[in-house]
Amino acid sequence: MLVQRTVQIAIEDDPDLRKTLDAFTDVCNRISPTAWNSGKPLQALALHKSVYSSVKGTISSQLTCTAIRITAGAYVSARKNGHKATHPFRWKSPRALFLIGKRTRDANLKPDGTMSIWTVAGRKKLRYSVPDYFRSTLTNAVEIDSMIVVPHENHLIGHVAVTLDIPDADGIIPVGVDLNETNAIVAVDADGHELFITGLSRRILNSRTRKTVSRLQKKLAQKKADGKNTRSVVRVIKRLQRKRSRRTKDFCHCASKKLVEWAPENCVLVFEDLQFKQGKKGSRALNRRLSVWPRGMILAFATQKVAGKGIVEKVDPRYTSQMCSRCGLLGNRSRHAFSCPHCGFLIHSDTNAAINIRNRFTALRDSGVLSATPEAS
């Protein structure tokens, strides 16, 4: 089964490549008003006919065609997501999409850690490095499709889209994974082996940072009211927020890596298809809890790291925490303990949920039923 994944690589800084990113972004912004077409966006072919002759020459013809497709695609995506474009889009951050593929047009990644890439100063040879957790994904890629390059501090980041050939869901070993606030990851494999990753230290440190930021924000509001200089306070707040983000990202990397290393070969990591809506109806406390729970980041990193070893699937999350994994009826959950009044089964509540997630995937694979709603009795 062919799937697409994205790999991040670090590219050595180069002024000509940075100029290329600026030129590519400028082309997108120049043609965006035409693509918007007073609220009636043009398709890629119509936009190409309208603007190609006026923007060609700034960047290569292939990059020009790519910029036209990206700009037209942005309006198509907005419409599909239910967002009406009331004005022309404008790209603020410089970036560029380089097509690679079989014809090796805009860039070419070589196994020795060098790449050949088109810039406004001509084709250049640059060095790149791959993080350890992405190395196997890039090595096992059937095809390298494209690369989005963006600037990041003193170097450049490449988001490389690759195609992988992974095993089908039939015949592979399911691993149920429960993501929650208390224990970040609880996993159970087909043989009943368990993995617990708590992340307690991260939660404690992030809670302290949040309280410090909250105190500084009150101080900032008071300084603004008094008409005093606020730059120093703003600088400290931003530094603490960046530190908290780095801490969370590092934890998600380490936790997902540990999960993938623990999982057996030829596995399928089964997660709940959780969809939370944060908004006016939810309490502030609930919204805060959801915002600091990095379930999406853990899932994204696990998806990247398991490539070549297995796949990731999602199942319906309903009743996974309330259903007894032994008899299938609704039981009682009290924090970390789960008890079933029907069969007398006692188990850790997160382990019970992970087993239900694993079993739900097995039922899906064997019978085609997406989920089974338990009958209360």
Task: Determine the Cα–Cα distance for residues 180 and 21; give it in Å rounded to an integer.
Answer: 40
pLDDT at position 21 is 95
Task: Let me know whether 33 and 86 are in one domain.
Answer: yes
Domain finish residue from 132, 165, 198: 165
- The confidence band for 15, taking pLDDT boundaries of 50, 70 and 90, is very high
pLDDT at position 171 is 60
Please determine, for residue 375, whether its predicted confidence score (pLDDT) is greater than 60: no
Task: Let me know whether 259 and 217 are in one domain.
Answer: yes
Percent of the chain with pLDDT over 70: 89
Task: Determine the Cα–Cα distance for residues 44 and 143; give it in Å rounded to an integer.
Answer: 25
The answer to the question of residue 372 being in a domain is no
- Helices 44-55 and 15-36 meet at what angle, rounded to 10? 130
The answer to the question of residue 373 being in a domain is no
Number of domains in the chain: 2
Task: Let me know whether 158 and 50 are in one domain.
Answer: yes
pLDDT at position 114 is 92
Task: Determine the Cα–Cα distance for residues 169 and 2; give it in Å rounded to an integer.
Answer: 12
Burial of 229 (0-12, 13-18, 19+ CB in 10 A): exposed
Give the range of the structural domain holding residue 18, as residue numbers without chain letter: 2-165
Give the 3-state secondary structure of 321-370.
CCECCCCCCECEEECCEEECCCCCCEEEHHHHHHHHHHHHHHHHHHHCCC
- The confidence band for 355, taking pLDDT boundaries of 50, 70 and 90, is very high
Domain finish residue from 136, 165, 194: 165
Please determine, for residue 135, whether its predicted confidence score (pLDDT) is greater than 70: yes
pLDDT digits (tens, 9 = 90+) for 151-197: 987 889 999 988 877 665 556 789 999 988 777 899 999 888 999 99
Task: Let me know whether 211 and 342 are in one domain.
Answer: yes
Task: Let me know whether 284 and 354 are in one domain.
Answer: yes
Task: Let me know whether 135 and 208 are in one domain.
Answer: no
Residue type, 167: P
- Which residue has better confidence, 374 or 89? 89
Task: Let me know whether 182 and 301 are in one domain.
Answer: yes
pLDDT at position 296 is 85
The answer to the question of residue 214 being in a domain is yes
pLDDT at position 365 is 73
The answer to the question of residue 357 being in a domain is yes
DSSP state of 374: P
Name the CA radius of gyration of the chain, rounded.
Answer: 25
Task: Let me know whether 114 and 253 are in one domain.
Answer: no
* CA 315, 320, 324, 328 torsion-angle sign: negative
The answer to the question of residue 374 being in a domain is no
- The confidence band for 281, taking pLDDT boundaries of 50, 70 and 90, is low
Mean per-residue pLDDT of the chain:
84
Please determine, for residue 335, whether its predicted confidence score (pLDDT) is greater than 90: no
Please determine, for residue 4, whether its predicted confidence score (pLDDT) is greater than 80: no
Residue in 159, 171, 117 with CA at minimum distance from that of residue 7: 159
Task: Let me know whether 102 and 153 are in one domain.
Answer: yes
Residue 138 makes CB contacts below 8 A (sequence gap 6+) with 7, 9, 109, 130, 144, 160, 162
Task: Let me know whether 149 and 224 are in one domain.
Answer: no
- Give the global pTM: 0.61
- Which residue has better confidence, 25 or 173? 25
Q: What is the mean pLDDT of residues 9-36?
A: 93
Task: Determine the Cα–Cα distance for residues 296 and 205; give it in Å rounded to an integer.
Answer: 20
Task: Let me know whether 139 and 200 are in one domain.
Answer: no
Please give the full DSSP string across 240-269, using - where no structure is assigned.
Answer: HHHHHHHHHHHHHHHHHHHHHHHSPSSEEE
The answer to the question of residue 160 being in a domain is yes
Q: What is the mean pLDDT of residues 14-20?
A: 94
- The confidence band for 303, taking pLDDT boundaries of 50, 70 and 90, is confident
- CATH number for 280: 3.30.420
The answer to the question of residue 376 being in a domain is no
Task: Let me know whether 22 and 152 are in one domain.
Answer: yes
pLDDT at position 168 is 59
Domain finish residue from 165, 183, 211: 165
Give the 3-state secondary structure of 18-55.
HHHHHHHHHHHHHHHHHHHCCCCCCCHHHHHHHHHHHH
Residue 373: count of CB within 10 angstroms of its CB: 9
The answer to the question of residue 377 being in a domain is no
- The confidence band for 276, taking pLDDT boundaries of 50, 70 and 90, is low
pLDDT at position 11 is 93
Q: What is the mean pLDDT of residues 34-44?
A: 89
Please determine, for residue 312, whether its predicted confidence score (pLDDT) is greater than 70: yes
Reduce the DSSP state of residue 13 to 3 states and report it: coil
